[in-house]
Amino acid sequence: MNKLLVVAVLLALLAVSAESFRMPRQAKDEEGPLTQLCNTVKSYYSGAVNTVSDYVETIKGFKLEEKAKNLYTDTTTILSTYNSILQDQIYHLLTSKQ
């Protein structure tokens, strides 16, 4: 158990010391026109995606799907009632002449 603890501590120290030897990347001083164009397109694309995502989240917040289901249910209930009334009126029109 003690050997395992010593090995773990040594590995942790090795990892910390190895991380300190990393050299930072050096960026190019000049960007070409193709790189600038690609960066511009990427920024416009990410802006458009973020805007659409915001709109979708806003629409989900309105609970439109639930409202549409309620509207459909209410409409079919009302139409079935009026349909029954209309059928009854037609039936009485046809049977009263006999």
pLDDT in tens, 13-60: 666 665 555 556 655 556 788 888 888 889 988 888 888 888 888 877
pLDDT at 31: 74
Domain encompassing residue 92: 63-98
CA–CA separation, 66 vs 88, rounded Å? 33
Whole-number average pLDDT of the chain = 81
DSSP strands (E only) in 1-98:
none
**Mean pLDDT, residues 81-86:** 94
Domain membership of residue 67 (yes or no) is: yes
Domain membership of residue 9 (yes or no) is: no
CA–CA separation, 26 vs 76, rounded Å? 68
pLDDT at 56: 82
Q: Which two tokens stand for residue 29?
A: 């001083």
Domain membership of residue 54 (yes or no) is: no
pTM, two decimals, is 0.38
Domain membership of residue 50 (yes or no) is: no
**Mean pLDDT, residues 2-8:** 78
CA separation, residue 32 to residues 38, 42, 45, 73, 88 (Å): 10, 15, 20, 60, 80
Domain membership of residue 79 (yes or no) is: yes
The total number of structural domains in the chain stands at 1
Domain membership of residue 80 (yes or no) is: yes
Domain membership of residue 71 (yes or no) is: yes
